Structure 1
Amino acid sequence: MSKATRATQALEKAGIAFSLHRYDYDPAADRIGMQAAEALGEAPSRVLKTLMALVDGKPVCVILPSDREVAMKRLAAAAGGKSAQMMKPADAERMTGYKVGGISPFGQMRSVPTFLEEAALGEEQVYLNGGQRGLQIRLDPRRIAEVLNAKAAALVA
Protein backbone atom coordinates (compact mmCIF):
# COMPACT_ATOMS: atom_id res chain seq x y z
CA MET A 1 0.00 0.00 0.00
CA SER A 2 1.36 3.37 -1.03
CA LYS A 3 1.69 6.22 1.47
CA ALA A 4 1.16 8.80 -1.27
CA THR A 5 -2.40 9.14 -2.47
CA ARG A 6 -4.16 12.07 -4.08
CA ALA A 7 -5.61 12.77 -0.62
CA THR A 8 -2.23 12.92 1.14
CA GLN A 9 -0.76 14.95 -1.71
CA ALA A 10 -3.62 17.48 -1.45
CA LEU A 11 -3.01 17.87 2.30
CA GLU A 12 0.74 18.21 1.86
CA LYS A 13 0.23 20.83 -0.85
CA ALA A 14 -2.09 22.77 1.50
CA GLY A 15 0.50 22.56 4.31
CA ILE A 16 -1.85 20.69 6.65
CA ALA A 17 -0.37 18.52 9.42
CA PHE A 18 -1.69 14.95 9.47
CA SER A 19 -0.63 11.42 10.33
CA LEU A 20 -1.35 8.17 8.49
CA HIS A 21 -2.88 5.13 10.16
CA ARG A 22 -3.32 1.74 8.52
CA TYR A 23 -5.79 -0.96 9.50
CA ASP A 24 -6.97 -4.28 8.11
CA TYR A 25 -9.82 -3.34 5.79
CA ASP A 26 -12.69 -5.85 5.80
CA PRO A 27 -14.53 -5.74 2.45
CA ALA A 28 -17.35 -7.81 3.99
CA ALA A 29 -18.05 -5.30 6.79
CA ASP A 30 -21.62 -4.02 6.89
CA ARG A 31 -20.50 -0.55 7.94
CA ILE A 32 -17.01 0.34 6.71
CA GLY A 33 -16.59 3.38 8.96
CA MET A 34 -17.55 1.41 12.06
CA GLN A 35 -15.13 -1.35 11.09
CA ALA A 36 -12.36 1.26 10.72
CA ALA A 37 -13.16 2.76 14.14
CA GLU A 38 -13.04 -0.67 15.77
CA ALA A 39 -9.79 -1.60 14.01
CA LEU A 40 -8.18 1.69 15.07
CA GLY A 41 -9.49 1.42 18.65
CA GLU A 42 -11.19 4.81 18.30
CA ALA A 43 -14.65 6.10 19.18
CA PRO A 44 -16.92 6.11 16.10
CA SER A 45 -17.54 9.84 16.66
CA ARG A 46 -13.85 10.47 15.85
CA VAL A 47 -13.73 8.26 12.74
CA LEU A 48 -15.55 10.13 10.01
CA LYS A 49 -17.01 8.66 6.85
CA THR A 50 -17.14 10.31 3.46
CA LEU A 51 -20.37 9.95 1.52
CA MET A 52 -21.27 11.21 -1.92
CA ALA A 53 -24.82 12.44 -2.40
CA LEU A 54 -26.96 14.42 -4.81
CA VAL A 55 -28.83 17.58 -3.82
CA ASP A 56 -31.37 18.54 -6.47
CA GLY A 57 -29.41 16.26 -8.82
CA LYS A 58 -26.05 17.97 -8.19
CA PRO A 59 -23.15 16.13 -6.48
CA VAL A 60 -22.04 16.97 -2.95
CA CYS A 61 -19.62 15.42 -0.48
CA VAL A 62 -20.82 14.73 3.08
CA ILE A 63 -18.54 14.04 6.06
CA LEU A 64 -20.02 12.69 9.29
CA PRO A 65 -19.21 10.38 12.21
CA SER A 66 -19.12 6.71 11.22
CA ASP A 67 -21.87 5.74 13.66
CA ARG A 68 -24.39 8.26 12.34
CA GLU A 69 -26.61 8.51 9.27
CA VAL A 70 -27.12 11.61 7.17
CA ALA A 71 -30.56 13.21 7.40
CA MET A 72 -31.38 13.91 3.76
CA LYS A 73 -33.74 16.82 4.56
CA ARG A 74 -31.03 18.46 6.67
CA LEU A 75 -28.43 17.95 3.93
CA ALA A 76 -30.76 19.45 1.30
CA ALA A 77 -31.45 22.45 3.55
CA ALA A 78 -27.73 22.98 4.29
CA ALA A 79 -27.03 22.94 0.54
CA GLY A 80 -29.92 25.29 -0.24
CA GLY A 81 -31.80 22.59 -2.09
CA LYS A 82 -35.13 20.84 -1.93
CA SER A 83 -34.19 17.16 -1.93
CA ALA A 84 -31.18 14.92 -1.38
CA GLN A 85 -30.37 11.29 -2.04
CA MET A 86 -27.31 9.08 -1.86
CA MET A 87 -25.22 8.80 -5.02
CA LYS A 88 -24.97 5.32 -6.54
CA PRO A 89 -21.64 3.66 -5.62
CA ALA A 90 -20.48 3.40 -9.26
CA ASP A 91 -21.22 7.09 -9.79
CA ALA A 92 -19.38 8.00 -6.57
CA GLU A 93 -16.32 6.04 -7.75
CA ARG A 94 -16.39 7.73 -11.17
CA MET A 95 -16.83 11.20 -9.67
CA THR A 96 -14.15 10.91 -6.97
CA GLY A 97 -11.64 8.63 -8.64
CA TYR A 98 -11.61 6.48 -5.49
CA LYS A 99 -13.06 3.03 -4.79
CA VAL A 100 -15.96 2.73 -2.32
CA GLY A 101 -14.37 2.00 1.05
CA GLY A 102 -11.48 4.26 0.08
CA ILE A 103 -13.25 7.52 -0.78
CA SER A 104 -11.53 10.53 0.73
CA PRO A 105 -12.90 14.06 0.63
CA PHE A 106 -9.39 15.25 -0.26
CA GLY A 107 -7.96 14.94 -3.77
CA GLN A 108 -11.19 14.03 -5.51
CA MET A 109 -11.20 14.19 -9.31
CA ARG A 110 -13.69 17.03 -9.26
CA SER A 111 -14.30 19.66 -6.60
CA VAL A 112 -17.85 19.59 -5.26
CA PRO A 113 -19.57 21.40 -2.38
CA THR A 114 -18.65 19.69 0.89
CA PHE A 115 -20.66 19.52 4.09
CA LEU A 116 -19.22 18.55 7.49
CA GLU A 117 -21.31 17.42 10.46
CA GLU A 118 -20.78 20.27 12.91
CA ALA A 119 -20.38 17.92 15.90
CA ALA A 120 -17.04 16.76 14.42
CA LEU A 121 -15.60 20.22 15.10
CA GLY A 122 -15.88 19.44 18.83
CA GLU A 123 -13.16 16.77 18.52
CA GLU A 124 -9.45 17.61 18.84
CA GLN A 125 -8.45 15.08 16.19
CA VAL A 126 -10.49 12.98 13.79
CA TYR A 127 -9.81 10.26 11.23
CA LEU A 128 -10.85 10.34 7.58
CA ASN A 129 -10.22 8.01 4.70
CA GLY A 130 -6.82 8.60 3.13
CA GLY A 131 -7.77 7.58 -0.40
CA GLN A 132 -7.17 3.83 -0.08
CA ARG A 133 -9.04 1.05 1.64
CA GLY A 134 -7.38 0.49 5.00
CA LEU A 135 -5.71 3.92 5.16
CA GLN A 136 -6.90 6.68 7.49
CA ILE A 137 -5.64 10.25 7.90
CA ARG A 138 -5.66 11.76 11.39
CA LEU A 139 -5.97 15.54 11.59
CA ASP A 140 -7.60 18.53 13.26
CA PRO A 141 -11.24 18.67 12.04
CA ARG A 142 -11.02 22.46 11.61
CA ARG A 143 -8.43 21.84 8.86
CA ILE A 144 -11.03 19.77 6.97
CA ALA A 145 -13.31 22.78 6.77
CA GLU A 146 -10.38 25.01 5.85
CA VAL A 147 -8.93 22.86 3.03
CA LEU A 148 -12.27 21.81 1.51
CA ASN A 149 -14.10 25.07 2.17
CA ALA A 150 -16.64 22.78 3.82
CA LYS A 151 -19.81 24.11 5.37
CA ALA A 152 -20.40 22.86 8.93
CA ALA A 153 -24.03 22.02 9.61
CA ALA A 154 -26.25 19.71 11.66
CA LEU A 155 -26.56 16.84 9.15
CA VAL A 156 -27.29 13.72 11.19
CA ALA A 157 -30.65 12.11 11.83
Structure 2
Amino acid sequence: MSAAFPTTPATIALDRAGIPYRPHIYEHHDTATNFGEEAAQELGLREDQVFKTLIVSVDGRLAVAIVPVANRLDLKAIAAVMDGKKATLADPELAERKTGYVVGGISPMGQKTSLPTVLDASASRSATIFVSGGRRGFDLEIAPDDLLKATGGVTAAIARD
Protein backbone atom coordinates (compact mmCIF):
# COMPACT_ATOMS: atom_id res chain seq x y z
CA MET A 1 0.00 0.00 0.00
CA SER A 2 1.37 3.42 -0.86
CA ALA A 3 1.91 6.23 1.60
CA ALA A 4 -1.11 8.05 0.17
CA PHE A 5 -4.33 7.52 2.06
CA PRO A 6 -7.14 5.71 0.28
CA THR A 7 -10.31 7.45 -0.73
CA THR A 8 -13.34 5.50 0.46
CA PRO A 9 -17.05 6.30 0.72
CA ALA A 10 -16.34 7.11 4.40
CA THR A 11 -13.66 9.71 3.64
CA ILE A 12 -15.77 11.18 0.83
CA ALA A 13 -18.78 11.52 3.16
CA LEU A 14 -16.68 13.18 5.88
CA ASP A 15 -14.98 15.53 3.41
CA ARG A 16 -18.33 16.55 1.91
CA ALA A 17 -19.74 17.26 5.38
CA GLY A 18 -16.64 19.20 6.41
CA ILE A 19 -16.07 16.87 9.36
CA PRO A 20 -12.44 16.57 10.51
CA TYR A 21 -10.70 13.20 10.84
CA ARG A 22 -7.21 11.73 10.74
CA PRO A 23 -6.53 8.72 8.49
CA HIS A 24 -4.32 5.87 9.72
CA ILE A 25 -3.02 3.04 7.53
CA TYR A 26 -1.70 -0.19 9.01
CA GLU A 27 -0.66 -3.52 7.60
CA HIS A 28 -3.61 -5.92 7.46
CA HIS A 29 -2.66 -9.59 7.64
CA ASP A 30 -4.80 -12.04 5.68
CA THR A 31 -4.68 -14.46 8.61
CA ALA A 32 -6.31 -11.93 10.98
CA THR A 33 -9.88 -12.72 11.99
CA ASN A 34 -10.36 -10.16 14.76
CA PHE A 35 -10.00 -6.99 12.73
CA GLY A 36 -10.44 -4.54 15.60
CA GLU A 37 -7.79 -6.18 17.74
CA GLU A 38 -5.47 -6.21 14.74
CA ALA A 39 -6.04 -2.46 14.20
CA ALA A 40 -5.31 -1.69 17.86
CA GLN A 41 -2.13 -3.78 17.83
CA GLU A 42 -0.84 -2.46 14.49
CA LEU A 43 -1.57 1.19 15.40
CA GLY A 44 -0.16 0.82 18.93
CA LEU A 45 -3.45 1.71 20.60
CA ARG A 46 -5.39 0.44 23.60
CA GLU A 47 -8.38 -1.68 22.64
CA ASP A 48 -10.76 0.79 24.30
CA GLN A 49 -9.68 3.45 21.75
CA VAL A 50 -10.58 1.33 18.70
CA PHE A 51 -14.26 0.72 17.96
CA LYS A 52 -15.80 -1.99 15.80
CA THR A 53 -18.79 -1.37 13.56
CA LEU A 54 -21.39 -4.12 13.77
CA ILE A 55 -24.55 -4.46 11.71
CA VAL A 56 -27.43 -5.82 13.75
CA SER A 57 -30.97 -6.87 13.04
CA VAL A 58 -33.51 -5.65 15.60
CA ASP A 59 -36.86 -7.33 15.03
CA GLY A 60 -35.94 -7.52 11.34
CA ARG A 61 -34.75 -3.88 11.03
CA LEU A 62 -31.06 -3.26 10.43
CA ALA A 63 -29.02 -0.87 12.56
CA VAL A 64 -25.37 -0.01 13.22
CA ALA A 65 -23.80 -0.63 16.63
CA ILE A 66 -20.34 0.81 17.37
CA VAL A 67 -18.55 -0.63 20.42
CA PRO A 68 -14.95 -0.83 21.66
CA VAL A 69 -13.08 -3.86 20.30
CA ALA A 70 -12.23 -4.75 23.92
CA ASN A 71 -15.95 -5.30 24.61
CA ARG A 72 -18.89 -7.25 23.27
CA LEU A 73 -22.15 -5.83 22.02
CA ASP A 74 -24.99 -6.18 24.52
CA LEU A 75 -27.77 -7.42 22.23
CA LYS A 76 -30.50 -6.74 24.81
CA ALA A 77 -29.28 -3.16 25.23
CA ILE A 78 -29.21 -2.41 21.48
CA ALA A 79 -32.69 -3.95 21.11
CA ALA A 80 -33.99 -1.67 23.88
CA VAL A 81 -32.39 1.43 22.35
CA MET A 82 -34.02 0.55 19.01
CA ASP A 83 -37.41 -0.02 20.69
CA GLY A 84 -37.26 -3.68 19.76
CA LYS A 85 -37.53 -7.02 21.50
CA LYS A 86 -34.70 -9.05 19.98
CA ALA A 87 -31.40 -8.20 18.34
CA THR A 88 -29.02 -10.48 16.48
CA LEU A 89 -25.89 -9.85 14.46
CA ALA A 90 -26.85 -9.45 10.81
CA ASP A 91 -25.75 -12.03 8.28
CA PRO A 92 -22.30 -10.95 7.00
CA GLU A 93 -23.41 -11.05 3.34
CA LEU A 94 -26.40 -8.84 4.14
CA ALA A 95 -24.16 -6.45 6.10
CA GLU A 96 -21.78 -6.19 3.14
CA ARG A 97 -24.62 -5.66 0.66
CA LYS A 98 -26.34 -2.95 2.72
CA THR A 99 -23.17 -1.06 3.69
CA GLY A 100 -21.09 -1.48 0.53
CA TYR A 101 -18.11 -2.52 2.66
CA VAL A 102 -16.46 -5.88 3.35
CA VAL A 103 -16.62 -7.41 6.84
CA GLY A 104 -13.56 -6.20 8.72
CA GLY A 105 -13.71 -2.92 6.82
CA ILE A 106 -17.26 -1.74 7.54
CA SER A 107 -17.16 1.96 8.36
CA PRO A 108 -20.00 3.71 10.19
CA MET A 109 -19.80 6.53 7.62
CA GLY A 110 -20.52 6.47 3.89
CA GLN A 111 -22.66 3.34 3.91
CA LYS A 112 -24.78 2.54 0.83
CA THR A 113 -27.91 2.33 2.97
CA SER A 114 -28.33 4.86 5.77
CA LEU A 115 -29.07 2.89 8.94
CA PRO A 116 -29.90 4.02 12.49
CA THR A 117 -26.60 4.21 14.38
CA VAL A 118 -25.80 3.76 18.08
CA LEU A 119 -22.36 4.57 19.50
CA ASP A 120 -21.44 3.09 22.85
CA ALA A 121 -21.46 5.72 25.61
CA SER A 122 -17.87 4.88 26.55
CA ALA A 123 -16.72 6.78 23.44
CA SER A 124 -17.45 10.06 25.23
CA ARG A 125 -14.53 9.38 27.59
CA SER A 126 -12.06 10.00 24.76
CA ALA A 127 -11.31 13.10 22.70
CA THR A 128 -11.04 10.86 19.63
CA ILE A 129 -11.76 7.24 18.77
CA PHE A 130 -10.69 5.02 15.88
CA VAL A 131 -13.18 3.37 13.52
CA SER A 132 -12.81 1.58 10.20
CA GLY A 133 -12.15 3.86 7.26
CA GLY A 134 -13.91 1.56 4.84
CA ARG A 135 -11.31 -1.12 4.15
CA ARG A 136 -9.18 -3.52 6.10
CA GLY A 137 -5.94 -1.86 7.16
CA PHE A 138 -7.40 1.67 7.21
CA ASP A 139 -8.85 3.42 10.28
CA LEU A 140 -10.12 6.93 10.84
CA GLU A 141 -9.49 8.87 14.03
CA ILE A 142 -12.51 11.03 14.75
CA ALA A 143 -14.11 12.87 17.67
CA PRO A 144 -17.16 10.96 18.98
CA ASP A 145 -19.42 14.00 18.50
CA ASP A 146 -18.24 14.32 14.89
CA LEU A 147 -18.96 10.63 14.29
CA LEU A 148 -22.48 11.16 15.62
CA LYS A 149 -22.90 14.20 13.39
CA ALA A 150 -21.70 12.22 10.35
CA THR A 151 -24.03 9.28 11.00
CA GLY A 152 -27.02 10.98 12.64
CA GLY A 153 -26.38 8.55 15.48
CA VAL A 154 -27.06 8.50 19.19
CA THR A 155 -25.08 7.29 22.20
CA ALA A 156 -26.18 4.61 24.65
CA ALA A 157 -24.60 2.01 26.90
CA ILE A 158 -24.57 -0.93 24.48
CA ALA A 159 -21.23 -2.61 25.31
CA ARG A 160 -20.46 -5.25 27.91
CA ASP A 161 -17.29 -6.99 29.04
Whether TM-score is above 0.5 comes out as yes
- For 2:28, the equivalent position in structure 1 comes to 25
TM-score, length basis structure 2: 0.94
Tell me if structure 2 keeps the 8 A contact 1:26–1:32: no
- For 1:138, the equivalent position in structure 2 comes to 141
* CA RMSD between the two structures: 1.0
- Which letter maps to 1:49? K
Equivalent position to 1:116, from 114, 119, 133: 119
- For 1:6, the equivalent position in structure 2 comes to 9
TM-score, length basis structure 1: 0.96
The CA deviation string for residues 33-60 of structure 1, in whole angstroms up to 9 with x for no partner, is: 0111010001111111100000011000
| Structure 2 Cα separation of the partners of residues 82 and 27 of structure 1 | 37
- Which letter maps to 1:60? A
1:1-157 residue pairs with structure 2 within 5 A? 3-157=6-160
| Structure 2 Cα separation of the partners of residues 78 and 31 of structure 1 | 26
Instruction: For residue 27 of structure 1, report the CA deviation from its aligned partner.
Output: 3.1
- Which letter maps to 2:145? R
Identity of matched residues, %: 38
Tell me if structure 1 keeps the 8 A contact 2:58–2:87: yes
The CA deviation string for residues 13-40 of structure 1, in whole angstroms up to 9 with x for no partner, is: 1101111100111232232101110100
Aligned residue pair count:
157
| Structure 1 Cα separation of the partners of residues 83 and 154 of structure 2 | 12
Instruction: For residue 142 of structure 1, report the CA deviation from its aligned partner.
Output: 1.1
- Which letter maps to 2:60? G
- Tell which deviates more after alignment, 90-99 or 28-37: 28-37
5+ unaligned residues in a row in structure 2: which ranges? none
Q: Could you list the structure 1 runs, at least 4 aligned residues long, displaced by more than 3 angstroms after superposition.
A: none
